[in-house]
């Protein structure tokens, strides 16, 4: 599993939160935590299980497996919030403390939740389920392996909490696996039909999805390392990335819509001018999506269209490349400046909204 140096900025917050809940106890809740049985979830327990998920990606999966036998609350449930830097309220922590089962991502993505689980509460960690740890790319919901492992862990936890409902949980898991299998079949078909495909990414949010599809990530390593640690990329790395896009050396650009900046505007603007398709991806599941598998399927549709668009524009760009300007290298730009030597080209920091994908106007919660 590919590793990235992922910076976590929640240590001080977690310390204060543990003090707030001294009377009820602040559990260890790390990624390797072994799920334990809550005293309230005995064989005699009835009614829906109170489930709290740190993020809506895993909350939606818990609801699919649990059905009417669970009440699921997702604390981070909007694309306007960045879970990396999310600061929970006292009410959020109270929900975690009172839950029968807590579902977390792990791998350093939501330490505010995984380290605040009440002692004795059953926990399901996607990172633990798939063998990931802090330092690995934490966007595990985009991994087919992590989705399957977490779904299985959820079914097991629910069955232990409500043994009388075990058959229902098993049936829902079977249905979910059938739908997931259809998605994986479409992924296999895609990878068979598209060989040697490449992409770049404003952030490595969809790394696992693109890997499952057979894409090669050509994003400059220095750029990826900088944004993964919430730093600013070096000008040289940014220029390399822009040159990569303007030279159409990638088939598409993955754009994290939850992290808007002048840098992302520059990259998406460059992609728009050179007809490199941009596929927008958020970290949290959008409100118009109800299931994790359904969301990934929608992204697959966008990626398929992007590949078709790139192919459709390839002939025109080959003609342009063979013209009188062939052999000239694209000129890199800096955010907020003009692109190349053509004074008629629009500055990448203010692309034409009618033709160029952009993050302009979106919030940037992580900076």
Q: If DSSP states are collapsed to H, E and C, what string results for 234-272?
A: CHHHHHHHHHHHHCCCCCEEEEECCCCCHHHHHHHHHHH
Confidence at residue 230, expressed as pLDDT on a 0 to 100 scale: 87
And the tokens for 126? 């996607």
Neighbouring residues of 323: CB distance < 8 A, sequence distance ≥ 6 = none
- Contact call for residues 109 and 83 (beta carbons, < 8 A): yes
**pLDDT, mean of each 10-residue run, the chain (367 residues):** 41 39 40 42 73 98 98 95 86 96 96 92 97 96 98 98 98 98 97 97 97 98 94 96 97 94 96 97 95 97 97 81 44 41 34 36 34
Residues 6 or more apart in contact with residue 134 via CB below 8 angstroms:
6, 8, 31, 107, 108
Within the chain, how many helices (H) and strands (E) appear? 12, 8
Residue that the structure tokens 């985009």 belong to: 142
Instruction: Give the pLDDT of residue 81.
Output: 85
Distance CA 155, CA 48 (A): 14
Task: State the pLDDT at residue 320.
Answer: 58
Euclidean distance between CA atoms 365 and 190, whole angstroms: 34
The β-bridge relationship of strands 278-281 and 252-256 is: parallel
Q: What is the pTM of this model?
A: 0.77
């Amino acid at each position: 599993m590919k590793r990235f140096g992922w910076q976590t900025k929640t240590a001080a917050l977690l310390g204060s939160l543990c003090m707030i809940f001294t009377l009820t106890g602040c559990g260890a809740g790390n990624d390797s935590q072994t799920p334990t049985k809550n005293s309230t979830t005995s064989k005699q327990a009835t009614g829906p299980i109170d489930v709290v998920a740190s993020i809506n990606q895993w909350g939606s999966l818990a609801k699919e497996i649990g059905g009417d036998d669970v009440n699921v609350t997702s604390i981070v449930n909007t694309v306007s919030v960045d879970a990396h830097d999310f600061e929970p309220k006292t009410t959020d922590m109270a929900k975690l403390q009172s839950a029968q089962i807590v579902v977390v991502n792990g791998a350093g993505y939501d330490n505010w939740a995984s380290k605040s689980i009440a002692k004795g509460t059953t926990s399901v960690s996607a990172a633990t389920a798939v063998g990931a740890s802090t330092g690995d790319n934490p966007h595990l919901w985009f991994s087919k392996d992590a989705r399957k492992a977490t779904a299985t862990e959820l079914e097991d936890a629910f069955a232990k909490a409500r043994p009388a409902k075990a058959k229902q949980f098993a049936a829902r898991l079977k249905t979910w696996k059938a739908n997931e299998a259809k998605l994986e079949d479409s992924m296999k078909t895609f990878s068979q039909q598209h060989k040697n495909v490449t992409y770049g990414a404003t952030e490595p949010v969809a790394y696992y999805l693109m890997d499952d599809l057979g894409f090669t990530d050509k994003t400059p390593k220095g750029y990826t390392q900088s944004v993964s640690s919430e730093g600013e990329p070096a000008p040289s790395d940014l220029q390399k990335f822009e040159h990569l896009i303007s030279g159409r050396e990638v088939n598409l650009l993955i754009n994290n819509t939850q992290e808007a900046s002048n840098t992302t505007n520059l990259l998406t603007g460059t992609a728009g001018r050179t007809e490199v398709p941009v596929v927008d991806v958020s970290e949290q599941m959008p409100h118009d999506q109800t299931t994790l598998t359904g969301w990934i399927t929608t992204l697959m549709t966008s990626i398929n269209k992007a590949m078709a668009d790139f192919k459709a524009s390839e002939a025109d760009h080959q003609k342009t490349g063979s013209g009188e300007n062939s052999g000239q290298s694209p000129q890199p730009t800096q955010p907020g400046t003009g692109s190349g030597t053509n004074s008629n080209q629009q500055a990448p920091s203010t692309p034409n909204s009618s033709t160029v994908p952009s993050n302009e106007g979106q919030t940037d919660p992580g900076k």
